């Protein structure tokens, strides 16, 4: 492989700086957890200014997603559930199946799933991110009694179906087309979140 | 540890014979898969008569369950779904939560889940067992269109909830009591199987 040609005036060493921030972020998130890790602490560990971390990533969430190569951005999930309540199941099912059907995204999702299953520190880290940044805001959007538990049931249905289809590979769900998958998943999510 | 006192007249070496049959079964299932493995082949590999395998285990299914320390007997699951259709979700939810709440059974279930997630041969083996022995008979009992896909959605909901509660440990489902879990799971299973 050859290095890409550098554009004139490009900040020297910037690719390495980004990588160094991500290395520092992985160490910081692993040792302090999502909630307690700070952009300031990550910047200090990487030997750069906090403003540079914000310049590259914009927010702690996005540093986290990039550092873990986490393939699911809560902000994008929240966009799917915005809008009318009668279509929430179908919109979310269509979004999720869309992610799965792209091999690169699917592989990252399955890699995170495998790591969580075998590594308690990673499970704690993802839990510390998913609870406040994904589950709580989704539940606030969905509303009603037991909203957080129903959101988790919906995520459980999605994760379980991904395992049945891609990990266990059991028929008939392993061979269903995208539209059939959406038709199977949408009413289950609608019942929980609608 | 001391060996248990042998009862008079007990067949000498029988504990080892059982263990040798299980060793042979693990090798046979791993190399041939669930469908193609035979009690006769397992007996031959263990150097015993087929009748002795039947004497110890009764059927190929039970050799499989014992060899893999598989904590879920399809025959027992089928008992739960027998009976009136209106109560199927609650009966199955109660049965599943009952299994989870016993630490030994839970640990075995999670161990199988972890192994499937990280080991394609194990996934193929469990798939080869679960499809004909668990999913197909459950679907036949449940009936209606897409019965197998709906059964797999129900199993996906169960497995996903177990992961959320015991592997990821995300709140609130990690701290729910048994009855609250049943109340959460039963309607989801009822919608899919009732």
- pLDDT single digits (tens) A37-70: 999 999 999 999 999 999 999 999 999 999 988 8
The answer to whether B113 touches B163, Cβ cutoff 8 Å, is yes
Closest alpha carbon within chain B to A174:
B149
Question: Binning pLDDT at 50, 70 and 90, where does residue A4 land?
Answer: low
Tell me what pLDDT residue A12 has: 45
Residue ranges, CATH 1.10.10.60, chain A: 14-67
Tell me what pLDDT residue B80 has: 85
- pLDDT at residue A34 is higher than 80: yes
Beta-carbon contacts of B13 under 8 Å, excluding residues fewer than 6 positions away, are none
CB contact under 8 A, A159 and B160: yes
pLDDT tens column, B132-189: 999 999 999 999 989 999 999 999 999 999 999 999 999 999 999 999 999 999 999 9
Tell me what pLDDT residue A14 has: 61
Q: Which residue of B131, B170, B180 is the best one to mutate when testing the A interface, meaning the one whose CB has the most A CBs within 10 A?
A: B170
Closest alpha carbon within chain B to A122:
B168
Partners of residue A150 in chain B, C-beta under 8 Å: 184
CB contact under 8 A, A167 and B114: no
Beta-carbon contacts of B114 under 8 Å, excluding residues fewer than 6 positions away, are A117, A118
| % of chain A with per-residue pLDDT over 70 | 92
What's the average model confidence in pLDDT over A13-34?
87
- pLDDT at residue B55 is higher than 90: yes
Question: Binning pLDDT at 50, 70 and 90, where does residue A177 land?
Answer: very high
- pLDDT at residue A7 is higher than 50: no
Question: Binning pLDDT at 50, 70 and 90, where does residue B14 land?
Answer: low
Q: Which CATH number is correct for A14-67, 3.30.200.20, 3.20.20.300, 2.30.30.140, 1.10.10.60?
A: 1.10.10.60
Three-state DSSP at B169 gives: coil
pLDDT tens column, A113-138: 888 888 888 899 999 999 999 999 99
Burial of A67 (0-12, 13-18, 19+ CB in 10 A): buried
Residue B146 per-residue DSSP state: T
Closest alpha carbon within chain A to B112:
A117
Q: Which ranges in chain A belong to alpha helices (H)?
A: 14-36, 39-46, 50-57, 60-67, 74-81, 88-100, 103-118, 120-130, 136-142, 147-162, 178-193
Residues of chain A with a CB closer than 8 angstroms to some CB in chain B = 113-114, 116-118, 123-124, 126-127, 130-131, 135, 146, 148-150, 152-153, 155-161, 163-164, 167-173, 176, 180, 184-185, 187-188, 191-192
Average pLDDT, chain B: 89
Helix (H) or strand (E) holding B115: helix B103-118
Q: What is the CATH number of domain A74-193?
A: 1.10.357.10
What distance in Å separates residue B165's CA from the closest CA in chain A? 9
Tell me what pLDDT residue B30 has: 86
What distance in Å separates residue A35's CA from the closest CA in chain B? 14
Give the closest of B123, B149, B185 to A167, CB-based.
B123
Closest among B110, B191, B95, B72 to A157, alpha carbons compared: B191
Residue B133 per-residue DSSP state: I
CA distance B6 to B16: 14
CB contact under 8 A, B130 and A176: no
What's the average model confidence in pLDDT over B12-20?
75
Closest alpha carbon within chain A to B127:
A170
Residue B10 per-residue DSSP state: P
CB contact under 8 A, B123 and A187: no
CB contact under 8 A, A164 and B159: yes
Residue with tokens 């991500």: A22
Partners of residue B132 in chain A, C-beta under 8 Å: none
Residue B4 per-residue DSSP state: P
Residue ranges, CATH 1.10.357.10, chain B: 74-193
| % of chain B with per-residue pLDDT over 70 | 92
Residue A168 per-residue DSSP state: I
Tell me what pLDDT residue B6 has: 46
Question: Binning pLDDT at 50, 70 and 90, where does residue B8 land?
Answer: very low
Give the closest of B130, B150, B184 to A170, CB-based.
B130
Burial of B52 (0-12, 13-18, 19+ CB in 10 A): middle
Global pTM value: 0.86
Residue with tokens 């590594």: A119
| % of chain A with per-residue pLDDT over 90 | 69
Question: Binning pLDDT at 50, 70 and 90, where does residue A81 land?
Answer: confident
Compute the radius of gyration of chain A from its Cα atoms: 19
Partners of residue B117 in chain A, C-beta under 8 Å: 113-114, 117-118, 163, 167
CA distance B41 to B24: 9
pLDDT tens column, B114-134: 888 888 888 999 999 999 999
Tell me what pLDDT residue B96 has: 95
Closest alpha carbon within chain B to A128:
B170
Question: Binning pLDDT at 50, 70 and 90, where does residue B81 land?
Answer: confident
CA distance A123 to A129: 10
- pLDDT at residue A6 is higher than 80: no
CA distance A92 to A185: 9
Give the closest of A114, A150, A161 to B117, CB-based.
A114
């Amino acid at each position: 492989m050859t290095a890409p040609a550098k554009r004139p005036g490009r900040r020297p060493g910037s690719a390495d700086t980004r990588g160094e921030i991500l290395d520092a972020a992985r160490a910081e998130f692993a040792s302090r957890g999502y909630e307690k890790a700070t952009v300031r602490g990550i910047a200090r560990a990487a030997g750069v200014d906090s403003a540079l971390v914000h310049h590259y990533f914009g927010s702690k969430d996005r540093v986290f997603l990039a550092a873990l190569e986490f393939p699911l951005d809560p902000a994008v999930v929240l966009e799917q559930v915005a809008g009318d309540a009668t279509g929430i199941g179908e919109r979310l099912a269509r979004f999720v199946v869309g992610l799965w059907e792209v091999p690169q995204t699917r592989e990252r999702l399955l890699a995170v799933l495998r790591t969580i299953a075998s590594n308690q520190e990673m499970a704690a880290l993802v839990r510390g991110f998913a609870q406040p940044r994904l589950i709580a805001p989704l539940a606030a959007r969905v509303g009603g009694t037991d909203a957080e538990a129903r959101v988790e049931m919906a995520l459980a249905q999605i994760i379980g179906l991904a395992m049945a289809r891609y990990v266990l590979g059991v028929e008939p769900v392993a061979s269903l087309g995208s539209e059939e998958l959406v038709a199977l998943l949408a009413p289950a999510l609608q019942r929980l979140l609608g």
